[in-house]
């Protein structure tokens, strides 16, 4: 029997764990011939179908999630037309809800799995070509029987999570990506109504020794970034502390990306975080909203006051960067509050502010209660909220534009400092810049780092002239051209050091090529030194002489 796995991802940077996780459990089964076709959602459909057809598989399996849903169905429907004998089965987050409508609409799909597949997929493979009446013992499997009746076998849970063979032991584990995912915990203690893990109980873990063994393998492959798949890393502060001790063993070779709940930080864990090596952790702090009624309606565990205190602490740490997220479209969340919350997060010094639109995912409580909560949402992936009682269609579009603004300016290291300063010192800045980006029709256009610099410089020159020097400094320190407008005041010819200056960084040497950014007519300003013998576009020296 030949099984083809269609590995369809949103980009080449991403790689699904599903294939190696399933294959690892039955890799020694010689009756199965495994093959794969890997592609992204942006590739030509016909080309991908042709690759599948050449393999002539008996089974096509794939993971379906909101960002590959449409392209996946285009591909497998064509493959089924060419290979009518082929059995197509799908799994993934898209099937955590009721699957009858999907199966009736897409008759080319033989069945879908709801839940965790490592234990049930091998069971199904033993009966895949038997009458579907024998499929009724496979937990989590949903299908239409011979009489076209919908059969639903519930949800599959792997209770012996720690006993699974790790995905890294599969020959299909992809070591070529810029990061790998490491699932240390399955399930979530929280009850967030918008999350597919909101009802995923119980929480199951693997031992620290098992994690160390897996990290050793990851380290041996030279992987620099590990994304720890743990719904809430610090739901158990004792275990979190033990994991941090373990992660320290791999500094400075590996950076670990974690999701952390700021409301659940113990004092002991705070102390532990504060002394970690710089760059060891990259934190994603789940906050969603800074409004108590919004969080209560979303059924998120944790007091807001504790969350704000914890987030402020995390953002104050200099040895790691903390990103915070907000979700537009949550019940009771108004657009004006979103703008206010962005300013608060900027005040805290969040490394990034990620503003997303709420998506009502299959299997979530919020999707089931959408009508009751007054939420209208797209019936097709990615199921984004279109309107709520508190936020209009137009306001949600404004929130989308605000997200683009944050990604382009605040979340970009080059422009973060000046953008943060403008946000904090000018209450109307976000609204005014947003209007400018929309009116000039660039808000939804991909912009280069340089183009963003030109935009923010021109905007400040016309609306916030007191900040143009800061924009120019950011432009120079990013190594951009001194011949373009943001460097229009820079003097480059025959610059010599003043009698006295305050060195900010680097060490002055006579062979440095100096440029000077004046701030007044009396010779005050900033000096930047560039290597003249090697091609370094960023300055290696900075000094100032201010009034």
Give per-residue pLDDT as tens, 354-409: 999 999 999 999 999 999 999 999 999 999 999 999 999 999 999 999 999 999 99
* Local confidence band at 517 (pLDDT 50, 70, 90 cut-offs): very high
Mean pLDDT of the chain: 94
Query: How much is the pLDDT for 436?
Result: 97
Query: How much is the pLDDT for 53?
Result: 98
Q: Could you tell me which of 546, 545, 508, 499 has the C-alpha nearest to residue 529?
A: 508
User: For 185-217, how does the pLDDT look when each residue is reduced to its tens digit (9 = 90+)?
Assistant: 998 888 888 988 876 678 899 999 999 999 999
Residue ranges of alpha helices (H) inside 406-486 are 413-425, 429-439, 449-463, 468-477
Residue 536, pLDDT > 80, answer no
User: For 414-458, how does the pLDDT look when each residue is reduced to its tens digit (9 = 90+)?
Assistant: 999 999 999 999 999 999 999 999 999 999 999 999 999 999 999
User: For 115-138, how does the pLDDT look when each residue is reduced to its tens digit (9 = 90+)?
Assistant: 999 999 999 999 999 988 889 999
From residue 159, alpha-carbon distances to 21, 115, 200, 201, 416 in Å are 15, 12, 12, 10, 45
Token pair for 110: 């033989």
Query: How much is the pLDDT for 207?
Result: 95
> Cis link prior to 202 (omega < 30° from 0)?
yes
Arithmetic mean of pLDDT, 313-320: 96
Instruction: Give the separation between CA 90 and CA 109, rounded to whole angstroms.
Output: 8
Could you give the maximum distance between any two Cα atoms of the chain, in Å? 93
Q: What is the pTM of this model?
A: 0.92
Q: Are 349 and 336 in contact (CB under 8 A)?
A: no
At residue 407, φ and ψ (nearest 5 deg) are -65, -40
Residue 534, pLDDT > 70, answer no
| Residue percentage of the chain with pLDDT more than 90 | 88
Query: How much is the pLDDT for 231?
Result: 80
Q: Indicate left, alpha or beta for 480 from its phi (over 0: left) and psi (-120 to 50: alpha).
A: beta
Residue ranges of domains in the chain, CATH in brackets: 2-152 (3.40.50.280), 178-384 (3.80.30.20), 412-484 (no CATH), 489-547 (no CATH)
* Local confidence band at 547 (pLDDT 50, 70, 90 cut-offs): confident
Least confident of 41-55, 282-296, 312-326, 521-535: 521-535
Residue 7, pLDDT > 90, answer yes
Query: How much is the pLDDT for 286?
Result: 83
Query: How much is the pLDDT for 535?
Result: 62
Query: How much is the pLDDT for 189?
Result: 83
Query: How much is the pLDDT for 14?
Result: 73
- CA atoms within 13 Å, Cβ hemisphere of 532: 11
């Amino acid at each position: 029997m030949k099984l083809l796995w269609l590995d369809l991802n949103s980009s080449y940077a991403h790689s699904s764990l599903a294939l190696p996780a399933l294959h690892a459990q039955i890799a020694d089964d010689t009756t199965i011939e495994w093959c794969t076709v890997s592609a992204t959602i942006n590739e030509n459909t016909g080309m991908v179908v042709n690759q599948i057809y050449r393999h002539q598989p008996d089974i096509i399996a794939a993971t379906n999630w909101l960002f590959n849903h449409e392209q996946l169905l285009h591909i497998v429907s064509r493959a089924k037309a060419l290979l009518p004998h082929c059995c197509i089965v799908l799994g993934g987050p898209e099937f955590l809800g009721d699957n009858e409508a999907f199966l009736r609409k897409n008759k080319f799909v033989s069945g879908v799995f709801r839940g965790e597949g490592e234990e049930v997929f091998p069971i199904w493979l033993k009966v895949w070509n038997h009458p579907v009446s024998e499929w009724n013992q496979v937990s989590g499997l949903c299908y239409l029987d011979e009489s076209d009746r919908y059969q639903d076998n519930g949800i599959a849970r792997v209770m012996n999570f720690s006993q699974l063979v790790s995905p890294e032991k599969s020959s299909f584990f992809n070591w070529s990506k810029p990061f790998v995912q490491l699932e240390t915990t399955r399930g979530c203690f929280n009850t967030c109504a918008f999350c597919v893990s909101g009802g995923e109980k119980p929480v199951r873990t693997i031992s620290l020794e098992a994690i160390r063994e897996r990290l050793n393998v990851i380290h041996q492959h030279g992987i620099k970034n590990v994304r720890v798949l743990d719904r809430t890393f610090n739901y158990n502060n004792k275990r979190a502390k033990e994991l941090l001790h373990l992660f320290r063993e791999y500094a400075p070779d590996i950076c670990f990306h974690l999701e952390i709940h700021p409301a659940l930080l113990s004092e002991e864990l705070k102390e532990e975080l504060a002394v970690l090596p710089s760059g060891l952790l990259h934190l994603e702090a789940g906050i969603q909203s800074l409004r108590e009624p919004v969080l209560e309606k979303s059924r998120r565990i944790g007091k807001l006051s504790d969350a704000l205190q914890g987030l402020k602490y995390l953002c104050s740490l200099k040895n790691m960067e903390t990103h915070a997220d907000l979700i537009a479209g949550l019940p009771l969340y108004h657009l004006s509050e979103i703008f206010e919350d962005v300013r608060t997060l900027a005040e805290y010094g969040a490394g990034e502010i990620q503003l997303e639109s709420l998506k009502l995912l299959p299997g979530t409580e919020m999707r089931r209660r959408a009508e009751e909560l007054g939420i209208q949402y797209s019936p097709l992936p990615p199921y984004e909220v279109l309107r709520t009682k508190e936020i209009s269609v137009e306001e949600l579009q404004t929130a989308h534009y605000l997200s683009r603004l944050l990604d382009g300016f605040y979340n970009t290291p080059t422009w973060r400092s000046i953008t943060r300063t403008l946000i904090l010192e000018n209450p109307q800045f976000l609204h005014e810049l947003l209007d400018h980006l929309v009116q000039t029709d660039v808000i939804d256009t991909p912009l280069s780092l340089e183009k963003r610099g030109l935009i923010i410089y021109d905007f400040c020159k016309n609306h916030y002239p007191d900040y143009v020097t800061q924009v120019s400094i950011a432009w120079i320190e990013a190594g951009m051209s001194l011949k373009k407008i943001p460097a229009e005041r820079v003097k480059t010819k025959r610059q010599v050091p003043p009698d006295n200056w305050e060195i900010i960084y680097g060490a002055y040497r006579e062979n440095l090529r100096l440029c000077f950014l004046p701030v007044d007519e009396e010779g005050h300003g900033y000096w930047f030194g560039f290597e003249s013998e090697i091609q370094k576009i960023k300055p290696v020296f900075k000094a100032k002489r201010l009034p």
